[in-house]
Amino acid sequence: MSDPSSSPDAAVASPPPVPRTQRSAAPNRNTAGLLQGRRPMASAPIPPSLQSKLAANAKLGNLNGVDSTANMLKNMSLSDRRSPANFSLGSPLTPMSGRPAPPAPSMGGLAARRMKMNAPKLNVHDISGNFGLSSGVGPSGTGFGQGRVREDVPRRSSQLAADTPFANFHKIVDPSGALSFKGKAVLHAQGVDFSNGSSFSINMSQLELEEELGRGNYGTVKKVLHKPTKVYMAMKEIRLELDSAKLNAIIMELDILHRAAAPEIVDFYGAFFIESCVYYCMEYMDAGSLDKLEGEGIAEDVLGRIAGSMVRGLKFLKDEMQIIHRDVKPTNVLVNKRGDVKLCDFGVSGQLEGSLAKTNIGCQSYMAPERIQGESQNNLGTYSVSSDVWSLGLAMIEMALGHYPYPPETYENVFAQLTAIVHGDPPELPDDRYSQSARDFVARCLHKVPSMRANYAELLAHPFLEEDRNRHVDMVGWVARAIDYREAKSREQQKQQQS
Q: Is 54 exposed, middle or buried (0-12, 13-18, 19+ CB in 10 A)?
A: buried
Q: Of the listed 327, 345, 388, 468, which one is catalytic?
A: 327
Q: How far apart are CA 479 and CA 290, in angstroms?
A: 10
Asked whether the beta carbons of 35 and 54 are under 8 A apart, the reply is yes
Task: For residue 301, indicate whether it is catalytic.
Answer: no
| Long-range CB contact pairs, 119-124, < 8 A, 24+ | 119/79, 121/77, 121/78, 121/79, 121/80, 122/77, 122/78, 122/79, 123/76, 123/77, 123/78, 124/78
The rounded distance, in Å, linking the Cα atoms of 343 and 336 is 12
> H or E segment at 81?
helix 78-82
In terms of Cα–Cα distance, which of 55, 90, 54, 95 is closest to 72?
Answer: 54
CB of 53 closer than 8 Å to CB of 93: yes
Rounded Cα distance, 383 and 391, in Å: 13
- Backbone dihedral region of 362: left (phi > 0), alpha (psi from -120 to 50 degrees) or beta? left
Q: Which residues contact 151 (CB under 8 A, 6 or more apart)?
A: none
What sign for the dihedral angle of Cα 8, 11, 15, 17?
positive
Computed from CA positions of residues 141, 147, 150, 155, in that sequence, does the dihedral angle turn out positive or negative?
A: positive
Residue 243 zone, left/alpha/beta (φ > 0; ψ -120 to 50; rest): beta
| Dihedral in degrees, nearest 10, Cα atoms 157, 158, 164, 168 | 180
Cα Rg, the chain, nearest whole Å: 39
- What is the distance between the alpha carbons of residues 171 and 168, in angstroms, rounded to a whole number? 5
Residues with a known catalytic role? 327
